[in-house]
Amino acid sequence: MENLTEKVAELGKRRGFFFQSSEAYGGVAGFQTFGPEGAELKRNIENSWRNTFSRSLGHREIEAPTIMHKPVFEASGHLDGFDDMIIECPECGTSSRADHLVEDNTDIDEAEAFSTEQIEGLIKEHDLVCPHCDNSLTNVDVDDFNLMFETNIGPGSETKGYLRPETAQGIFVEFPRLKQYARNKLPFGITQIGKAYRNEISPRKGLVRVREFTQAELEHFIDPEEDSPSLSRVEDVELVLYPVDNQGEGENSYVETSVRKAVEEGIVNKWVAYYLGIAKQWYVDIGVDMTRFRFRQHQPDERAHYASDCWDAEAQVDGAWIEIAGFAYRGCYDLTKHGKHSGNKRDFSVFKEYDEPETVEETTIDIDMSILGPEFGSNASKVAEKVKRKVELGPEIADEGAIFVHLDGEEYAVDSEAVEVKEEIVKKSGEEIVPHVVEPSFGVDRTVYTVLAHSYREDAINSEERTLLSLSSSVAPTEVAVFPLMDKEELSNRAREISERLRDYGFSVKYDDTGNIGKRYRRQDEVGTPICITVDYETFEEDPETVTVRERDSTEQERVRVEEIEEAVLSRL
């Protein structure tokens, strides 16, 4: 189907799935509003994700703020490295993404991994021009542009805050408490569904590249030496894989294999493979078309700095592949960084008990409280703790005259005499380890978009053209619509009764009595309602009473007894 993108956008607007926000004010690129149908579809997809990736796996969900202050993003690396390359036209002032400019105007497919210097070279080599005014961009500098939205917290500008570019950091920074709730035992998983923000240089229309979006992320904290995924759960799930080695050979060189074989043959890391298997099943359930779907491995230079292996779930719409999820083995990168930057290494590790206590040589640090006590009074033990941590990080500072530490904004100088560093033979019952992290990360908006695009159909019923969304009943905004044939009291009373009964049974139900019955069927077809029930005059002619039950995809109609209506709906969903 050509122009599926435009068709979905048009239907999205007309039926209330999604549309450019604040249109009355001209809107701003990159911000979309989910209308009533879209918000319901999105929520159903989120709840389904929650059941699959959080509840069923025994993981727990948290909700951290979307604004965090500067030190968090200094630690995570986002402040320094979360950039896109920007080029500003000196003639008209239009800013463009420099790597996209190269991709759109040369044979190069993936320019994101190049350096700014390389991109400048390519712009010169191909004599590229501004897409807005055609002015030459040769000799114009390519700069790094940080993608985080910045703001000031509180009065004044001292406290910089950033809108999180991924929900993940909200989980990592809270690790010290989260491990307590897990009773300091690995493995455990924490999920979060929430907003994330990226100040894209050139957002696209629709839901694919937006500046505000929803992520559903799972951070699974594991002991890489001890823990293994329950592969048996998904071992036979078939995957369509597009590994790095095959990517040179074009799109027909997919590897189709089971989760078990993908692991055995060393194509995919076992943890990543486990989640690919769970994700594949989930995508099938919510209605992603598996003939337009693949898992693609990242090229080494395309991988984020932290990931040792990374695969994307990709869906095809109008011939283009859209990344809809990423599965990364992040190793110990994040927790190590936060341990270092926060100065609280222990908070970001977990104590792992040995099977048998071991005898090891260890550095111990003794602080003489008879010196600190009189000098620092009630703060002495806190100062001692700070000194201990500082010396742990670099024992050599104990050789200097004094050690300086900060506590509640005050500086304290501690005489080195009070600090003794010793090498001792000790019996250890275990050690602190930094957990590794496996991260399945889903873009919810793009998933919503894929589900809409993949369920979009056009057909003809009695030579009348029809548009429908063949949505999976597990995510459709409405499961059953109930109509009275006409807006007459007898009919509408019974139709309302049936609505109520079905609602009480747990179905999502819509009641509609406006317009002729054909129009009402079309309306429900276009918002993807699997089943329509009509109360008509025949209803009362029969004993027991019957109604017409119509299926969306086939448009087949059947008369069903009102007393059996719940079962009739259930069996058709």
**Which of positions 324-343 make contact with its own copies (CB under 8 A)?**
338, 341-342
Smallest distance, its own copies to C-beta of residue 83, A: 12
Q: Interface residues for its own copies in 401-460 (CB under 8 A)? A: none
Whether 46 and 444 have beta carbons less than 8 Å apart is answered as yes
- Per CB under 8 A, 195 contacts its own copies: yes
Angle between the 36-49 and 270-286 helix axes, to the nearest 10 degrees? 140
Phi and psi at 89, nearest 5°, equal -70, 125
CB atoms < 10 A from the CB of 406, how many? Answer: 12
Smallest distance, its own copies to C-beta of residue 344, A: 5
Smallest distance, its own copies to C-beta of residue 500, A: 11
Q: What residues contact residue 168 under an 8 Å CB cut-off, 6+ apart?
A: 192, 217, 219, 334, 439, 441
Measured between alpha carbons, how far is 558 from 546 in angstroms, rounded to an integer? 10
For 318, counting Cβ atoms within 10 Å of its Cβ (0-12 exposed, 13-18 middle, 19+ buried), the class is middle
Smallest distance, its own copies to C-beta of residue 569, A: 18
Here's the x/- map for its own copies, 233-272, by CB under 8 A: it reads as ----------------------------------------
Q: Which residues pair with 67 in a beta bridge?
A: 163
Residue 13's H or E segment, with its range, is helix 4-15
In 3D, which of 84, 213, 67 has the Cα closest to residue 150? Answer: 67
- Per CB under 8 A, 199 contacts its own copies: yes
Here's the x/- map for its own copies, 149-178, by CB under 8 A: it reads as xxxxxxxx--x-x-x------x--xxxxxx
- Per CB under 8 A, 181 contacts its own copies: yes
When binding is defined by CB under 8 A, the residue of 1, 6, 22, 363 that contacts its own copies is: 22
Q: Which stretch binds its own copies (CB under 8 A): 2-10, 57-65, 220-228, 539-547?
A: 57-65
Measured between alpha carbons, how far is 169 from 173 in angstroms, rounded to an integer? 6
For its own copies, give the closer residue by CB, 35 or 121.
35
| Angle at the Cα of 547 from the Cα atoms of 544 and 550, rounded to 5 degrees | 150
For 252, counting Cβ atoms within 10 Å of its Cβ (0-12 exposed, 13-18 middle, 19+ buried), the class is exposed
Q: Interface residues for its own copies in 537-566 (CB under 8 A)? A: none
Smallest distance, its own copies to C-beta of residue 69, A: 5
Smallest distance, its own copies to C-beta of residue 414, A: 22
Smallest distance, its own copies to C-beta of residue 113, A: 21
Angle between the 444-455 and 36-49 helix axes, to the nearest 10 degrees? 110
Measured between alpha carbons, how far is 432 from 60 in angstroms, rounded to an integer? 23
Measured between alpha carbons, how far is 491 from 489 in angstroms, rounded to an integer? 5
- Per CB under 8 A, 40 contacts its own copies: yes
Q: Interface residues for its own copies in 210-229 (CB under 8 A)? A: 211-212
Smallest distance, its own copies to C-beta of residue 61, A: 5
Smallest distance, its own copies to C-beta of residue 573, A: 17
Buried b (16+ CB within 10 A) or exposed e, 168-187: bbbbbbbbeebbeebeeebb
- Per CB under 8 A, 126 contacts its own copies: no
Q: Distances in Å between the alpha carbon of 108 and those of 99, 123, 312, 325, 424?
A: 10, 12, 20, 24, 59
For its own copies, give the closer residue by CB, 19 or 254.
19
Q: Interface residues for its own copies in 378-397 (CB under 8 A)? A: none
Smallest distance, its own copies to C-beta of residue 126, A: 23
Smallest distance, its own copies to C-beta of residue 397, A: 23
When binding is defined by CB under 8 A, the residue of 4, 62, 129, 397 that contacts its own copies is: 62
When binding is defined by CB under 8 A, the residue of 9, 57, 64, 324 that contacts its own copies is: 64
- Per CB under 8 A, 201 contacts its own copies: yes
3-state secondary structure 529-546: CCEEEEECHHHHHCCCCE
Here's the x/- map for its own copies, 488-527, by CB under 8 A: it reads as --------------------------x-------------
For its own copies, give the closer residue by CB, 63 or 459.
63
- Per CB under 8 A, 470 contacts its own copies: no
- Per CB under 8 A, 69 contacts its own copies: yes
Smallest distance, its own copies to C-beta of residue 422, A: 29
Residues in contact with its own copies, counted by CB under 8 A, come to a total of 76
Residue 286's H or E segment, with its range, is helix 270-286
Q: Is the dihedral of CA 66, 69, 75, 77 positive or negative?
A: positive
Residue 451's H or E segment, with its range, is helix 444-455
For its own copies, give the closer residue by CB, 34 or 306.
34
Smallest distance, its own copies to C-beta of residue 311, A: 28
When binding is defined by CB under 8 A, the residue of 11, 32, 221, 229 that contacts its own copies is: 32
For its own copies, give the closer residue by CB, 155 or 319.
155
CB < 8 Å & 24+ apart, contacts of 46-50 = 46/193, 46/214, 46/216, 46/444, 48/282, 48/285, 48/286, 48/474, 48/475, 49/193, 49/216, 49/282, 49/442, 49/444, 50/191, 50/193, 50/216
For its own copies, give the closer residue by CB, 112 or 174.
174
